[in-house]
Amino acid sequence: MTRKLSFSGAINEALHQEMERDETVFILGEDVAKMGGDFGITKGIWEKWPNRAYDTALSEQAILGLCNGAAVCGLKPVAELMFADFVGVCYDQLINNAAKLCYMYDGQASAQIVVRAVTGGGIRCAYHHSQCIEPWLMNIPGLVIVAPSNAYEAKGLLVGSIRNQNPVVFLEHKLLYNTKSEVPEELYDIELYKAKVVKEGSDITIVAAMTMMAFAEKAAKELEKEGISVEIINPLTIFPLDKETIVDSVAKTGRLVVVQEGPKVMGYAAELGAMVVEDIFEYLKAPLKRVTSLDVPVPFAPVQEDYVLPHYDDVIKACHEVMAF
């Protein structure tokens, strides 16, 4: 039987194994070396490779600038942004330099970097440490956004991200760090740009990522008791989206519910909805439904944060609404 590993442990193991395999991989960020990272994700690496683990100044702009320069020189930096929210500080380095480098130099140079970004709400971190930042980046050609939902995916997708030729923003949801799933000890990678059909069904397609996957799976089990068959799609790579897998699923079921943690306006649920309506409108049996956070900043007060974030009951309600048609 495959052993179980935590989400955080799986990322740590992926880093150790990939650094063992490829000497051009190194890590950098605030307190990622001697301390092992604020969340303990990089523990043990500095002890093994003191010349390949660097504590940086408290400057996301400096971290990404160093990444870009190192990548141009043939290295493969894996940077940690302690909180994804601070991608705004290094936005120019990411979107105007890293994302465009390969295109500008016709493939002769590229920014083969991975930016590990700790994302999401649910642990009372308030306004500046709880946001879902993927919509900020989805309009940037050249970037890749990866979003695992369990430990198995975290290890395989991180390895795939490090080996990818493009700059990758690798989203790690805080609430997933202590969750466990079966993870092989050997090194493996999961293909980027390919969505996963988590469960097959015939009545409704639910698309969900990261922590929202747990809502989708729970809802599918509950709805099955009512005779409603749910198909679940996990994008894995949020950008670029695996359009074919999602469109094929919705063409089969005729109904779509997208569950995303971030605010509704301009979120990836909106892009999914537009994509489906544009391509297979004639297959739809009901209007699509989006289950999202409210369009407000994430509050600190527990009762307010709980009110703002999406809930399992919202998923059930949305599914019942699309089944009413």
125-138 pLDDT, tens digit per residue, is: 998 999 999 999 99
What CATH number did the domain enclosing 116 receive?
A: 3.40.50.970
- Residues 252 and 126 reside in one and the same domain: no
Range of the domain at 310: 196-323
For the chain, what is the radius of gyration of the CA atoms? Answer: 20
Confidence bin at 2 (pLDDT 50/70/90): confident
What confidence score (pLDDT) does residue 113 get? 98
- Just list the catalytic residues: 129
- Residues 213 and 278 reside in one and the same domain: yes
Of the three residues 158, 182, 206, the one that is the final residue of a domain is 182
Whether 191 maps to a domain, the answer reads no
- Number of structural domains found in the chain: 2
20-65 pLDDT, tens digit per residue, is: 999 999 999 999 999 999 999 999 999 999 999 999 999 999 999 9
196-211 pLDDT, tens digit per residue, is: 999 999 999 999 999 9
What is the rounded distance in angstroms from the CA atom of residue 200 to the CA atom of residue 183?
Answer: 23
pTM of this prediction?
Answer: 0.96
Whether 190 maps to a domain, the answer reads no
277-318 pLDDT, tens digit per residue, is: 999 999 999 999 999 999 999 999 999 999 999 999 999 999
What is the rounded distance in angstroms from the CA atom of residue 18 to the CA atom of residue 314?
Answer: 40
- Residues 259 and 163 reside in one and the same domain: no
What confidence score (pLDDT) does residue 42 get? 98
- Residues 137 and 23 reside in one and the same domain: yes
- Residues 132 and 269 reside in one and the same domain: no
- Residues 123 and 211 reside in one and the same domain: no
What confidence score (pLDDT) does residue 1 get? 60
Of the three residues 155, 182, 209, the one that is the final residue of a domain is 182
- Residues 168 and 203 reside in one and the same domain: no
Whether 35 maps to a domain, the answer reads yes
Listed in sequence order, the residues at least 6 apart from 76 whose beta carbon sits closer than 8 Å to its beta carbon are 22, 24, 25, 26, 112, 113, 114, 162
Q: What is the mean pLDDT of residues 155-184?
A: 97
What is the rounded distance in angstroms from the CA atom of residue 178 to the CA atom of residue 7?
Answer: 6
